[in-house]
Structures are given as C-alpha cells and as structure tokens.
Structure 1
Amino acid sequence: MMRSTSHTIRTRRTVKAAATLLAGALALSLTACGGDDDKSSGTDGSPTAKESGSTLTLPKLNGTTLEVAAVWTGAEQANFKKVLAEFEKRTGAKVTFVPAQDPIINFLGSKVAGGQPPDVAMLPQPGAIKQAVDKKWAKPLGAEALKEVQKNYSQGWQDIGKIDGKQYGVYYKAANKSLVWYNAKVFENAGATEPKTWDELLSTAQTVYDSGVTPFSVGGAEGWTLTDWFENVYLSQAGPERYDQLAQHEIKWTDPSVKDALTTLAQVWGKKDYVAGGATGALQTDFPASVTQTFTGGDQPKAAMVYEGDFAQVNIGQAGAKVGTDAKAFPFPAVGDTAPVVSGGDAAVILKDSKGAQALATFLASPDAAEIQAKLGGYLSPNKNVDFSVYPNDVQRKIAQSLIEAGDDFRFDMSDQAPQAFGGTPGKGEWKDLQDFLKNPTDVAGTQAKLESAAAAAYGN
C-alpha cells in the first residue's frame, strides 16, 4: 500500500458529484472567457474573492541557509523562486533552489548517501512520500506547519500527505489533469465543436483532420503524459472503485477493464495520421513541445489539440498564445457515464528538521505563498483560503474554484500513488510500457502482460 488507510477509505467515495461539478463549471466557462485583466468578481459569474489579509507570523532566520529540491524547470522553476524570495525577505534566510532529476527519490538517495540532503524536497508522488518516510529521510511537520495545513486544506488533501497518521507532506501545488486544450482558430476554420463524450471526441478529431490539420499532439517522450491519458480513460470507463483497486494493485493489469481502456486509447493513438509526427514523432516530443506546437503556426499548427492539465498554460504562453482566445479548453470527454476528475500535486517534505525548514513548510502551507505563484499563471493551489481573484485569468480562476469546491471527492493521479519503480521512473514500468503501446497500439494483451509483470515486481505481490 502506498497511502495511509485513512486516505484509502476517503478516496473511495463517489466522484460523481465532483465530476459533474467540475465538468459543468469548465464546460460553461473555459471557452467563453479571456478576461486576462479582470481580477475581480462580478456579474459574469466569476468567483467571489475571499477576505484577504495575512496573519502568518514567521521567525527571524538571519544567517540561516536552506536548500529546496524539485524537478521543476523553466517558468515553473522561475516562478517558484519568486515565492522563495518572499520567504527570504520575511525571514532573512537564504534559500537555494536545487534542480533535481526524475525520479526525485533516486536523486535524494544520492544526496542522503553523500551526507548533503536538501532541507526540503517537493515530491510529486504520494508513493515518494511513503518511500522517504520508510527510509527515515522525511521528518513530520511541527506544530506551526501542522496548524497551517489544518487551517488551509480540506481533509482529503491533508490525508494524502499523511503516513501512518502523521503529517509529512504540504501539498503546495495541485493539478487538474482532466483538460484538453485546443487551437481555437483551427476549430473555427474546421467548424469543429467541443466534444462531451469520447465518441464525440473522435468525431471532432475527424472533422479537424478533414480540414487539413492533424488532430492530436502527444508528448510521448515523457511517459507520465501517457499515464495521464490512460487514467482519464480508465476512471471514466471502469469507474472509481476499479480505479482505486488498480491504483493499489488489488486487481491485476491483465484485468478486462484495462484491456477496455487500452483498446479505447488505441482509437486515437493507433489511428493513422491522428497524432502529430506519428508514433515515432510523438515519442521524440517532450511535454513542453507537445503544447507549443499546438499553438504556433497560426491556423496551421502541427496539431489542433493537446491533452494535459491546467499547468499547460505556462507553455501556451511561451508559444505566444493567449488563454481564452487563441487557446481554449474543454473537460476530458466522458468515456463512460461520467467525465473523469483526475488530480495531481507536489508536496513539500522536510528532510532536515530545523527551525528554518519548519518555517519554510509553514510558509508553503499558507495562502501567502500560494498567492504569489498563482498570480504568475500556470499554477493551481489546493489551499482553500487562496483568494480566487489572484489568478491571472478567468479560465484559471474557475479551474481553481472547481478544484476547491470538489472538496475531498477527487481521484489522485494513479501512477503517482504507485511505487516509483512502476509509476514514476523514465524508461521503466508503466511509463515505458505505455510508450511501447503508443508505438504499437495493436498489442493490447502484450502491453497488459508487461504492465502486470512490472507492477507485481514493484508492489511486491
């Protein structure tokens, strides 16, 4: 098991209400609003801002030096450094960002072995938190940090940072991983409409293809993008109970429900000329490029649509496109009865228990820290006391509102719950097996067998 018992019970709640809320809110709002300069609520139905004003008190840490490790790069790293700069300003500490490599748990292992672990690490998987605790690297949150977490997070977000009842993780960053972004001009030229079901998605793809543009961009060079595709299809098609069982390896990857999901995925991945560059090209395309190539080239980009989470907005901006006008989005279409709601996130975990590290965790658990990065775009916070008005456009404000209103009824990214050897390592496990499936989507049974073999080894059962 890679999460606490309390989380396992909690996440087995139905997601139907949350899915309906999220899909409905996004369907009504994502395509209709640019609003980049509209920071306040109003008659357009945008969220009402919460009461602002910080009461957070941090200690003076003059002369203290801290290191924070994360795998973030580019704009995401640059924006997080601005959050760290505010912590420095308030406390007098000096904080250094340490770029880490995937899988971060291996990176941390080498640092620990060398006697130089960072003070805090941003871990992208609950499974990695569990490993850090099992290896006795992670330290539980102190009283002030724990107080801030309990004040600002729903029980569900608290629970996924707990191991054996103790709070180790502060979920600083969240993701809505159930979005499909599209080039608005391509859709307009093709006469394409936003799909609500998988069958409608295939019909929309054909309409786009007939207009002369390849329908999908897939960042297959990074296996996590492929696991996200699978998880959305599987959650909607197989349902939340099966999703939880597969996430814990309580059912095998040779289960018929996995066969159904892979067969469904093959309707896109295996369709000739539906994926930009074909399978070979997709496997050479990293995530940032998969987004930017959808929004460069005017109305003749390399692809019309790209599936990924709200964080794709950073890369959309790098392509020179504007969210809400050039780039729009719709909820991942329902394959079964209900559209999927898949979330992910990154948790701050203390590796060196000190006054400075505890203070930084306390700051990252506060709305003060989250609001700094929220203003910069491409970021979503699960902190329920973040003022929605700080998000830079109406699209992201409503994505944030939907996440908070979903409360505890969400499903966390399945591969992030798995042992890292299976769900979070380049060239291994689920990442590699789905890359191979992208290359040969007719081999459903062989892919299932490889997935099950890798999962059994990683879970030890």
Structure 2
Amino acid sequence: MPSRAVHRRTVLRAAALGPAFGLAGGCAGLGRATGLGESVRIAVSWSSTELAAFQRVLGRYVDDCALVPLGDDIDAALGANPTGRPDIVALPQPKLVRANRDRLAPLPDEVWHHDFDALWSPQLPAYGGRHHAVPFKLAHSSVVWYRRRLFVEHGLDTPRSWTDWLDLNERIVERTGVAPLALGGADGWLLARFFENVLLRHFDDTYDALVAGERGGWAGRDVRDAFGMVAEMWGASGALAGGPERALVAQYPEAVLEVFRHHTAAMVAAPAFAESVTRSFGVPDDEIGTFTFPSAAGLDGRLVVTGDLLVLTAPASPAARRVLRHLCTPDAPVPWIRDTGGFIAADPETDTREYSQNLLELALELARPSNDLQFGLSDTVALGALLQEVLQNLLRALAAGTEPGEAAREAATAMADAGRAAR
C-alpha cells in the first residue's frame, strides 16, 4: 500500500477513534430534541453530499448524534477499543460483520424484515437466533450510465453482449470524438466492480467458487479470461477518457462528471449511487440512460449488488437502539431518496414514488424474483482488497505501454499467487 494511504489511515484512527471521538463532525445538543439523554456516535463511510443526506435521514435524532465519516477506513471503527468505539456503524462490507461479531450487539428483533432472508441471510447469518447487522441501503452495481443525447445523435444502441460493447466503443471513437469510457481508477473499488461484473456475468461458477472459498479458484482459466476481457477493453486505443494515465488519478465522482458534465466520455460503469453525483450538478434525468452490464447467454439475471449495513457495537445503549429503530423504519430514507438520489432502500416497504425514473428501474430490477443478486468479491472475500490493488496495477501497466494481454497475464498471476499463499 502506498505510504500516503498508510498515513491517511493512521491519522483517521488517531483522530476519529481516540478520546475525542464524540467531537467529530456531527451534532451536539445531548437529548435536546428527543430526550435520549446521551449522544449516539455513528461511524459512516459517506462524505459530502451523502453525509448531508444521512443527516436528513436521522430526522428528529439529528441533534443527538455525532457523525464520523471514515471513508474507506470504516473498518477502523470496529477495531477501536471499547471506550472509543462508536455506537452504530454503517458497514459497506458483509465480511466485516463476520470478522467482528464478538464486538457487536444483537439487533432488536423487530428491525429484521422477513423479506431480507432470501438475499441477506447467507451473508448475514443469525447466531443463536439473533441477527447482528441489518440492511439499510442497496446499490445496483451492474449498471453502466450513458449520455442519452449522444447515443441518439449518433445512432448508437446499447450493447447486449460483450462483443457488442467492444464494437460500440469503436463506433463511439469513430463517430463522436469523445472516449467511450470514463474510469475512476484512483478508487480501487470501482475497478473491482468492473471486474466482478465481467466474472459473474460470464463465468458465474468460478465467481461462486471464490465466494465459497474453494481452493485454487483464483488460479483458474476463467479468472485469466476475465482479466483478459477487462484489459482488452481498457487497453483499446482511445477507450478511456484521458487515457489510462488520467484514469489512474481520477476518482469515482470525477469519472461520472466526465460523462455528464465535461462530456469527455460517453459511458461510465458505476453503482446506482452515481445518481447522487449527477443530481448534485443538476444533470436532467432525461439526459441520463442506463443499461445493465452485458452478460453471456443465460446469465443476464446474475447481478452484482453492494449494500450498507447497520450494526450496533457492544454493549449497545438504549439510546443507540432507539436511533437504530428509527433508521430501520420504511420512511426514514425517503429524504435521501427524494432530495439527493442514488439510494435504493433495502426495506421493501419503503415508498417507491420518490425514486427518479432511472433509479426506480434499477430498484425494480433488483427486486425481480428471477434475478440472482451477488455481493461484490471485494466486499466478501479475503483477497478483495488485493483485487483492487491488482486492477490498479493492471491499469498502471497499460499506462506504461504494456500490451493488454500481457497486463492481464500479470494481474491473473498476482491473484493466483496470492490465492495459493492464503491457503
């Protein structure tokens, strides 16, 4: 890991999880609005627009909560000693629940919805009949966003297969003068989502084997082929806005804006919460189109999802339990859905009328009974963080002029070696 990232993590742990934890960004006024009697500390991965949206979700409890935005270092919240640990944590990775169960308190029984069982129980099993994490926010992560007007003006159609997508990219380069893709390579998780979609929607048996922890999965041919497909697309001439060099330093919001604000790219693969970026910059909904990541025949119903889970740290106070109960009501996320966008409620009873048309379509696709939703590898498997690093190295190799096939072989070898070492 680069020294800068290590330094950032060190600072966050020291500043956010030390004795002054309760002074981190958020709210004071202990008990003033609701009579809780004490401040409830909530650690989240969100920042900026999404953090402000979550404050509105807190509603009447907002003045009784202290929010600590930890970004990619959210796991640090559960690693703190008990006196510095927050009361509630919004976790983006199911694997963190399993790894920290002894630090979590069982949830109030009434917050677990029976409709959660099919999707969430395999990832969030009950222990002793009690759940320790409740789904809060879903994100459809098999989405490609595109500039609708550009497609209409140049007679472009959305792709139905991987070959269609490669052909579409060539037509965009030839006809439009902009790059087909924007890519936020500075955020390794965004690269991982791209790879996960290629693997799940073309080689699903291998994807399932990796999730199950089967030995040798990372060394298989399907993984090598998936890296090859990714490298072929990213490494094509003119494919990435600004080239691989620019993609390496661009963050996820910048990639979205390259498509919808700066108009230097036609498409960006990003989860459903990308809508919060387009809305914050006033992009009209009718200028935005989406399509689902192309798949091999018969695998169109297998979708990558991500989710934010709420957990109570042990020992949970009565005040923290009351705030959690509020967050788990169907109406709680409506301000985020209505005012900010990019939020798909995990609770099936949340009113869908406030969704934009684009997000409603994505939410309905996730809710379709015939579809099989799978969490991203980077959120579920032990080598998830390494996968992000390997994909950044693949992009770095392309930027240095390495031929796509060779860059893919290097990436596949790195993952295979790590898989063997992890046995």
Q: Shorter chain as normaliser: what TM range?
A: 0.7 to 0.9
Is this contact kept in 2: 1:149–1:158, CA < 8 A? no
2:253 maps to what in 1? 288
Question: Is residue 2:394 matched to residue 1:437?
Answer: yes
CA–CA distance in structure 2, aligned partners of residues 383 and 408 of structure 1: 18
Match in the other structure for 1:357: 320
Q: TM-score if structure 2 supplies the norm length?
A: 0.84
Counterpart selection for 2:237 from 272, 279, 297? 272
Query: Match of 1:30?
Result: none
In 2, are the aligned partners of 1:152 and 1:366 still within 8 Å (CA)? no
User: Unaligned 5+ residue runs, structure 2?
Assistant: 1-33, 398-403
Q: CA deviation at 1:195?
A: 1.0
Provide the C-alpha distance between the structure 2 equivalents of 1:247 and 1:159, rounded to a whole number of angstroms.
Answer: 11
Could you tell me whether the CA contact under 8 Å between 2:206 and 2:217 is conserved in 1?
A: no
8 A Cα contact 2:77 2:86, kept in partner: no
Residue 85 of structure 1 is matched in structure 2 by 59
Offset, 1:322: 1.5
Residues 130, 163 of structure 1: 8 Å contact kept? no
Give secondary structure in 1 for the equivalent of 2:259. coil
Q: Look up the equivalent residue of 2:165 and give its one-letter code.
A: L
Q: Equivalents in 2 of 1:456, 1:224: separation in Å? A: 23
Contact 1:155/1:408 (CA < 8 Å) preserved in 2? no
Asked whether 1:226 is paired with 2:226, we answer no
Asked if 2 retains the 8 angstrom alpha-carbon contact of 1:120 and 1:350, the reply is yes
**Aligned positions of 1:6-21 closer than 5 A:** none
Match of 1:338 in 2: 299
**Structure 1 pair 167–455 and aligned structure 2 pair: CA distance change class (3 A):** farther
Q: Is the 8 A contact 1:382 1:404 kept in 2?
A: no
For 2:105 and 2:370, the matched residues in 1 are separated by 27
Instruction: Give a deviation string over 1:156-186, Cα, whole Å, max 9, x none.
Output: 2244333545311111011100111011222
Cα deviation, residue 408, structure 1: 8.0
How do 1:206-245 and structure 2 match up within 5 A? 206-211=170-175, 212-239=177-204, 241-245=205-209
Q: Which digits, 9 at most, give the CA deviation of each residue in 1:274-333, with x for residues without a partner?
A: 011211110100000000111113xxx11110001111111112333122x111111111
1:34 aligns with none
Could you tell me how far 1:246 is from its partner in structure 2?
1.3
Any idea what SS the aligned residue of 1:306 has? strand
Task: Compute the displacement of 1:257 (Å).
Answer: 0.6
Tell me the equivalent position of 2:31.
none
Partner of 1:27: none
Give CA-to-partner distance per residue, 1:321-380, whole Å, 9 cap, x none. 122x11111111124542241111010011141112222222222212133322231111
Alignment partners' CA distance in 1, 2:357 and 2:334: 15
Percent of aligned pairs with the same residue?
Answer: 28
- Alignment partner of 1:304 is 2:282: no
The count of corresponding residues between Structure 1 and Structure 2 is 378
Partner-residue secondary structure (3-state), 1:406: coil
Matches within 5 A, 1:372-387: 372-376=335-339, 377-387=341-351
Q: Residues of 1 paired with 2:369 and 2:418: CA distance?
A: 33
Match of 1:454, SS state, is: helix
Instruction: Tell me, yes or no, if structure 1 residue 139 matches structure 2 residue 105.
Output: yes
SS in structure 2 opposite 1:274? Answer: coil
Which digits, 9 at most, give the CA deviation of each residue in 1:22-57, with x for residues without a partner? xxxxxxxxxxxxxxxxxxxxxxxxxxxxxxxxxxxx
Which whole-Å CA distance do the structure 1 matches of 2:126 and 2:378 have between them? 18
Distance 1:194 1:245 in 2: 31
Q: Does 2:409 correspond to 1:451?
A: no
Cα gap change, 1:187 to 1:160, in 2 (>3 Å):
same
CA 1:72–1:407: 2 relative to 1, 3 Å? farther
Q: Distance in 1 between matches of 2:36 and 2:411?
A: 55
Deviation at 1:388, TM superposition (A): 1.3
Q: Residue 181 of structure 1 contacts residue 330 of structure 1 at CA under 8 Å; is this kept in 2?
A: yes
Q: Report SS of the residue matched to 2:411.
A: helix
Provide the C-alpha distance between the structure 2 equivalents of 1:214 and 1:341, rounded to a whole number of angstroms: 26
* Structure 1 residues 155 and 138: alpha-carbon distance in aligned structure 2, compared to 1, 3 A threshold: same
Range 287-296 or range 399-408, more displaced: 399-408
Shift in alpha-carbon separation, 1:252–1:430, aligned structure 2, 3 A: same
**Amino acid in structure 2 at the alignment position of 1:267:** E
Distance 2:133 2:278 in 1: 30
- Aligned equivalents of 1:101 and 1:195: distance in 2? 34
Q: 1:118: how far off?
A: 0.6
2:359 maps to amino acid: Q
Q: Structure 1: 5+ residue runs without aligned partners?
A: 1-59
**Does the 8 Å CA contact 1:66/1:356 hold for their aligned counterparts?**
yes
Which secondary structure does the structure 2 equivalent of 1:221 belong to? coil
SS of aligned partner of 1:328: strand
